Chains A and B, each alone.
Chain A
C-alpha cells in the first residue's frame, strides 16, 4: 500500500506527543508516550483493551488534561489551540453518541452548529453530502434511536466528515460491526486516505491494522512498545520458516539438528520454526534434501504484527480483552 505523498519524512508530524502521561487514581493509563504520526499516513494505534488508546485519543482532542507531557496536533499545542485545531479534525471516540429523539439528519445539523467555523449557509448541502458518503441518505429522516449499531457508527462517521478534514481520529471504528460493516468502514478509510486526509485509527484487531494502515504504533499497558511504517515493524520481527513436506517427522529432526527452534507441525504436512539467527537458508534446504526429506515448499514467511507484538511484549495478544 502506498503511503501517499504526505508521508514524506520531512513534513511536520500531524500528531506529536512528548512524555504524555495520564494517571487515574493510582494507575497510569498512559505512561510517557512519545507518538509521532506523519502527515498523509493511515496510522494504526494498536493495543489490547485497556492499553490506553482511548485515554490517549481523549488527550489528543483536549477532552482530558494530560497529567504530564505535551500534545501537538496539526502543529499546535493541545488543548490550548483547540479552537484552531479541532475544526480541521473529525473524530469518532469510543463509539458514536447521538440524540435519539432527533433524526439522523438533525443530529448532523446539531453537531455542525456546534462548530463555530462551519458556514450555516452551506450546512444543508454539507449534511446531505456527509449522509451520502456513508450511505445513510435513505434513513436520514428516521429517528436516531431506531438506527442499528452499524447505522449509528456510520452516522458518527458522517459527523466526522461534515467539513473537509486534515485529520481523522477514529477510535475502534469497526467495534461491534458485522464483517460487511467492517469492510465498508475500511473502504471508506482507504478512500479518505487517498484524498490526502491523515487517518489515525485505533484498534485492538491486528489484521485490521495490517489491512489498512501504512504506519502503526503498538501499545501495551499504557506504554508505547514500538512505532513506525508497518513494513518496518514487520521486518524487525524475524519471519518464520515454513516447510511444506509429506515427511514432517524427518523434517522436524533435520531442522532441529540444524539449529531451528520453536518447531511446530501444522496441519500434518506443514512444519514451521524460527530459523537460526546466523544460519544460511540454503544450507537448510541442502540438509533437508540430503536427508531424503521430500520438500514441496520452503520459505520464510513475513512476520505479522501479531508476531511483532508477541516478540516485543513476550505475551500473546488477547483479542477479546
Chain B
C-alpha cells in the first residue's frame, strides 16, 4: 500500500468526489446526535419533568383557592393579572405558567444544559474522542449551541403544553380578554400563546450563549453548570437593585417579562424588540468568546 499511501495523502477519503452539499447534510448528523444525546440524559428528562409540573401545581392551587366560587389574585402587575383570569379561561394558565417559570426554573434548566455542553464532555473524557473523530471545534461548538437552543424551545413548549392541558382539564376555554380589554377568539388566543412561547424561548438565547462560554472555561461539568446558574441568580438580583439603574438595560433578564405585551391590543413592540436585540447581542458576544476560547484551548482532559 506504500505507493497508494503517498498519493492519497493529498486528499483523504472525504475528498474522493463527495459533493459539498452532501457534506453539509451529513454535518447535520452531529446536531441530531447532540440533540438525542442530550434528551436521553436522565438529568434532562428530570428538568423537563419539573418544568411540566409547575403548571400542574399552579392550576391545582388556583382551582382549590377558587373552589368556593371566589376569584383568585386580582392585584396589579402582569403575573397576577393573568392569574385572575385563569378561572374564566384555562388558556391563561399558559401565560401564568410561563411568567412563573421564566424568572428561574426555565433559565436554570437552560443554564444546566448549556453549562454542561463542553465542560461535561471534557470531564467525561468524551470531548477528546469527538475532536479526533474529527468533529471540528467550530462545528462541535455550533452543534452544541444549536442543541442548547433546541432545548430552550422544548423546555418552553413543555411548560406551555403542560399548562394548556391542565388549563383545559380544570377550567373552561373560550374567548379571552386582552390586557387592553379587547376580546379575541380562542383560536387567536392559541396563536398568541404559541407566539409567546416562542418569544420566551428566544429570551433564553443570551443565557444559552453565556452558559456555553462558561462551559469552555473549565473541564468540570458541575462547575460550569453551577457558575452559569450562579450568574443567572446574580443578574436577577442586580436587576432588582434600584441604585444600579444604569446597568439594568444591559442585563440579559431585564426585558424578559415583556412577552406579556403580546397580550395587548395592539401589541406593544418596543420592549419585545429590546429583549430580542439584547439576546442577539449576548449571543454574538459570548458566542464569539466561546469560539475564541474553545478553538485555542488545549484539550488535556
Contacts and interface: CB of A to CB of B under 8 A. Distances in A.
B243 interface: no
Contacts of B139: 116
11 contacts: A6-B1, A58-B298, A61-B132, A63-B132, A63-B300, A84-B15, A94-B128, A110-B37, A113-B33, A120-B29, A159-B129
Given A11-B2, A87-B13, A89-B132, A98 B40 contact: no
A102 B296 CA distance: 30
A60 B125 CA distance: 18
B273 to A, nearest CB: 37
A12 B300 CA distance: 29
Interface in B103-136: 124-126, 128-136
Contact of B300 (A58, A84, A87, A97): A58
A294 B163 CA distance: 98
B125 to A, nearest CB: 3
B183 interface: no
A116 B23 contact: yes
B14 interface: yes
Interface residues of B, number: 42
A299 to B, nearest CB: 38
Contacts of B242: none
Contacts of A94: 125, 128
A65 B32 CA distance: 30
Contacts of A84: 11-12, 14-15
B46 interface: no
Main secondary structure of the interface of A (DSSP, over half): loop
Chain A, interface residues (CB within 8 Å), range: 35 or more
A264 interface: no
A58 B125 CA distance: 13
Given A76-B9, A97-B128, A102 B298 contact: no
Contacts of B18: 117
Interface string B159-171: 0000000000000
Contact of A114 (B5, B42, B135, B299): B135
Given A64-B300, A116-B139, A86 B133 contact: yes
